[in-house]
C-alpha cells in the first residue's frame, strides 16, 4: 500500500533563508506521481509542484524545487528565499498509476512551516 511520511511536524525559518521540507514515500508501483501542496490557514489546498516517477530531471517551479531521489524514495521540497507568505502547512502526496480504480492522492501528515521576520 502506498504511504507518505513527513517527519517534521514543524519548521521555523528566518525570512530569505532557504528551507527543505522532507518527504519519503513507499510504493511497489513503477509509475507514480509526487505532489506538494500548500495549505494556508484559510484551508484551500494550493498545488506547488509535481514530479513523475520517470522524470529524470528534478522539477522546478519558480522558488520551489523538488529534490527527487528515487532509490532512496524521497521527494523533498526546497523553497528558496523564503517569504512571510510562505508560512502555512505543507503536504507531500503521491498518486500511483494503478491499472484499475481511482488513482487517488495519498497525503502525508504535513509540516507546519513558520517564517520569522
Partner 1 sequence: ETGVTQSPTHLIKTRGQQVTLRCSSQSGHNTVSWYQQALGQGPQFIFQYYREEENGRGNFPPRFSGLQFPNYSSELNVNALELDDSALYLCASSLAWQYTDTQYFGPGTRLTVL
Give the separation between CA 93 and CA 15, rounded to whole angstroms: 26
Nearer to partner 1, 57 or 117 (CB): 57
Provide, rounded to whole angstroms, the least separation between the CB of residue 63 and partner 1. Answer: 18
Q: Does 60 sit near partner 1 (CB under 8 A)? A: no
Contact 85, 117 (CB under 8 A): no
Q: Which of residues 25-44 bind partner 1 (CB under 8 A)?
A: 31-33, 35, 37, 42-44
Contact 24, 109 (CB under 8 A): no
Beta bridge partners of 37: 47, 91
In the complex, which residues of this chain contact partner 1 (CB under 8 A)?
A: 4, 31-33, 35, 37, 42-47, 50, 52, 91, 93, 95-98, 101-110
Amino acid at each position: 500500500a502506498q504511504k507518505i511520511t513527513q517527519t517534521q511536524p514543524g519548521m521555523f525559518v528566518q525570512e530569505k533563508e532557504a528551507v527543505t521540507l522532507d518527504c519519503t514515500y513507499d510504493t511497489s508501483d513503477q509509475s507514480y506521481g509526487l505532489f506538494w501542496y500548500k495549505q494556508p490557514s484559510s484551508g484551500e489546498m494550493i498545488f506547488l509542484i509535481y514530479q513523475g516517477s520517470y522524470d529524470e530531471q528534478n522539477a522546478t517551479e519558480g522558488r520551489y524545487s523538488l529534490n527527487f531521489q528515487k532509490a532512496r524514495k524521497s521527494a523533498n521540497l526546497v523553497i528558496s528565499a523564503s517569504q512571510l507568505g510562505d508560512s502555512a502547512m505543507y503536504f507531500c502526496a503521491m498518486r500511483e498509476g494503478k491499472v484499475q480504480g481511482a488513482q487517488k492522492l495519498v497525503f502525508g501528515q504535513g509540516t507546519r512551516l513558520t517564517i520569522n521576520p
